[in-house]
Structure 1
Amino acid sequence: MKFMKTIATAALALAVAMPAAAETTKVGFVYVGTPGDGGWTYEHDQGRKAVEAEFGDKVETTYVENVAEGPDAERVLTQMALSGHDLIFTTSFGFMDQTNNVAAKFPDIKFEHATGYKREHPNVSTYGARFYEGRAVIGTIAGRMTKSNKIGYIASFPIPEVIRGINSAYIHAKKVNPEAEMKVVWVFSWFDPAKEADAAAALIEQGVDVIMQHTDSTAPMAKAAETEGVIAFGQASDMGQYADGPRVSSIIDNWAPYYIERTKAVMDGTWEQVDTWGGIDSGMVEIGDFTDKLPQPVKDEATALANAIADGSYHPFTGPLNKQDGTPWLAEGETAGDGDLLGMSFYVEGIEGDLPQ
Structure 2
Amino acid sequence: MNRRTLLATAAFAIGLAGAASAQDSTKVGFVFVGPIGDGGWTYEHNQGRLAVEEHFGDAVETVYQESVPEGADAERVLTQMALSGADLIFTTSFGYMDPTLNVAAKFPNVKFEHATGYKRADNVGTYSARFYEGRAVQGHIAGKLTESNIIGYIASYPIPEVIRGINAAYIHAKKVNPDVQFKVIWAYTWFDPAKEADAATALIEQGADVILQHTDSTAPQAAAEKAGNVYTFGQASDMGEYAPMPRVSSIIDNWAPYYIDRVQAVIDSTWESDDTWDGIGAGMVKIGEITDAVPADVKAEALALKEAIANGDYHPFTGPLNKQDGTVWLAEGETADDGTLLGMDFYVEGLTGEIPQ
Residue 126 of structure 1 aligns to a residue whose secondary structure is: strand
1:185, distance to aligned residue in structure 2 (A): 0.4
Q: Which runs of 5+ in 2 are unaligned?
A: none
- Paired with 2:278 and 2:142, the residues of 1 have a C-alpha distance of 24
More displaced 10-residue stretch of structure 1: 155-164 or 244-253: 244-253
Read off the aligned partner of 1:54 and give its amino acid letter. H
Q: Output the CA distance in 2 between the equivalents of 1:37 and 1:201.
A: 20
**C-alpha RMSD of matched pairs (Å):** 1.7
Contact 2:33 2:68 in 1 (8 A): yes
**Which residue of the partner structure matches residue 288 of structure 1?**
288
**What does residue 116 of structure 2 align with?**
115
Q: Give me the identity figure in percent.
A: 73
Matched residue of 1:313: which SS? coil
Q: Deviations over 1:141-161 (max 9, x none)?
A: 000110111100000000000
1:53 is matched with: 54
Partner in structure 2 of residue 100 of structure 1: 101
The CA deviation at 1:352 is: 1.6
Q: Distance in 1 between matches of 2:245 and 2:325?
A: 38
Report 1:290-305 matches (<5 A).
Answer: 290-305=290-305
Shift of 1:199: 0.4
Partner residue in 1 for 2:200: 200
The equivalent residue for 1:4 is none
Give the superposition deviation at 1:244: 3.5
Aligned-partner SS, 1:36? coil
Q: Equivalences for 1:147-296 in 2 at 5 Å?
A: 147-296=147-296
Q: Residues of 2 paired with 1:256 and 1:180: CA distance?
A: 36
Is the 2:245–2:293 contact (alpha carbons within 8 Å) kept by the matching residues of 1?
no
Letter in 1 for 2:316: P
Separation in 2 of the partners of 1:139 and 1:325? 22
For residues 64 and 93 of structure 1, the distance between their equivalents in structure 2, rounded to whole angstroms, comes to: 16
Kindly provide the CA deviation profile for residues 57-116 of structure 1, in whole angstroms up to 9, marking residues without a partner as x. 111101001110011110110011000000000000000000000000000000000000
Q: Secondary structure at the match of 1:173?
A: helix
Q: Deviations over 1:255-275 (max 9, x none)?
A: 000000000110111111110
TM-score (norm 1): 0.94
Deviation (angstroms), 1:21: 3.8
Which digits, 9 at most, give the CA deviation of each residue in 1:140-197, with x for residues without a partner? 0000110111100000000000000000000000001111111100011111111110
Alignment match, 2:74: 73
Give, as a single letter, the amino acid of the residue that structure 2 aligns with 1:203: L
Counterpart CA distance in 2 for 1:24 and 1:267 is 9
The alignment partner of 2:334 has SS state of: coil
Q: Distance in 1 between matches of 2:226 and 2:329?
A: 40
CA distance in 2, matches of 1:353, 1:226: 28
Unaligned residue ranges in structure 1 (runs of 5+): 2-6
In 2, the alpha carbon distance for the partners of 1:248 and 1:32 equals 26
Query: Which runs of 4 or more aligned residues in structure 1 lie more than 6 Å from their structure 2 counterparts after TM superposition?
Result: none
Distance 1:349 1:102 in 2: 41
Distance 1:101 1:262 in 2: 21
Equivalent residue, structure 1, for 2:83: 82
For 2:281 and 2:221, locate their aligned partners in 1 and report how far apart those are by CA, in whole Å.
27
For 2:77 and 2:38, the matched residues in 1 are separated by: 20
CA distance in 1, matches of 2:221, 2:348: 26
- Secondary structure at 1:171 match in 2: helix
Aligned residue identity for 2:130: R
Deviation at 1:229, TM superposition (A): 1.1
What is the match of residue 338 of structure 2?
338
User: Does the aligned pair in 1 maintain the 2:160–2:344 contact within 8 Å?
Assistant: yes
Shift of the alpha carbon at 1:354? Answer: 1.2
> How many angstroms apart in 1 are the aligned matches of 2:192 and 2:21?
45
- For 1:244 and 1:123, the matched residues in 2 are separated by 44
Is the CA contact (8 Å cut-off) linking 2:244 and 2:293 kept in structure 1?
no
The residue aligned with 1:315 is 315
Shift of 1:36: 0.8
**TM superposition score normalised by structure 2:** 0.94
Matched AA of 2:98: D
1:245 is displaced (CA, Å) by 2.6
1:228 Cα offset (Å): 1.9
Task: Please give the alpha-carbon distance, in whole angstroms, between the structure 1 residues aligned to 2:194 and 2:21.
Answer: 50
Give the Cα separation in 2 of the matches to 1:30 and 1:21. 25
Please give the alpha-carbon distance, in whole angstroms, between the structure 2 residues aligned to 1:158 and 1:149: 24
Distance 1:343 1:33 in 2: 25
Code of the residue aligned with 1:44 in structure 2: it is H
Whole-Å Cα distance in 1 between the matches of residues 355 and 107 of structure 2? 39
Judge conservation of contact 2:244–2:292 (CA < 8 Å) in 1.
no
Report deviation, 1:225: 0.6
Q: How many residue pairs are counted as aligned between the two chains? A: 345
What is the distance in 1 between the residues matched to 2:227 and 2:132?
A: 27
